[in-house]
Amino acid sequence: MALKKFAPIASKKSMVSADEWEARLELAAAYRLTAHFGWTHLINNHISLRVPGTEDQFLLNPWGLLYEQITASSLVKIDCDGKVLEDTPYDINRAGFIIHSAIHMARRDVHCIMHTHTVAGQAVSALDCGILPLNQGAMRFYNHMAFHEFEGIAVELGERERLVADLGKHKVMVLRNHGLLTAGVDAGEAFNLMYHLEKTCETQMQVLASNQSYSVPPAEVCEIAAKQYWGNGDRVFGTRDWPALMALAERLYPDFGE
Q: What is the pLDDT of residues 63-112, one digit of tens each?
A: 999 999 999 999 999 999 999 999 999 999 999 999 999 999 999 999 99
Q: What is the pLDDT of residues 217-230, one digit of tens each?
A: 999 999 999 999 99
Helix axes 18-36, 241-252, angle to 10 degrees: 80
Cβ neighbours, 10 Å, residue 177: 12
Distance CA 55, CA 85 (A): 14
Cβ neighbours, 10 Å, residue 12: 20
Kind and range of the H or E element at 108? Answer: none
Q: Kindly tell me the sign of the dihedral angle through the C-alpha atoms of 246, 247, 248, 251.
A: positive
**46-50 β-sheet, strand order:** 76-79, 57-60, 46-50, 112-116, 179-184, 172-175, 146-148
Q: What is the pLDDT of residues 174-228, one digit of tens each?
A: 999 999 999 999 999 999 999 999 999 999 999 999 999 999 999 999 999 999 9
Characterize 192-222 residue by residue with b for buried, 16 or more Cβ atoms within 10 angstroms of its Cβ, and e for exposed.
Answer: bbbbbbbebbbbbbeebeeeeeeeebeeeeb
Domains annotated on the chain, with CATH = 18-250 (3.40.225.10)
pTM of the model: 0.96
Decide if pLDDT at 257 tops 70. Answer: yes
Cβ atoms of 53 and 77 within 8 Å: the answer is: no
pLDDT of 159 reads 96
Among candidate residues 199, 197, 242, 255, the one with its CA nearest the CA of residue 49: 242
Give Cβ neighbours of residue 206 (< 8 Å, ≥ 6 apart).
none
Phi-psi region for residue 28, left (φ > 0), alpha (ψ -120 to 50) or beta? alpha
Q: Kindly tell me the sign of the dihedral angle through the C-alpha atoms of 245, 251, 256, 258.
A: positive
Distance of CA 51 to the CA centre of its chain: 16
> What single-letter DSSP state applies at residue 91?
B
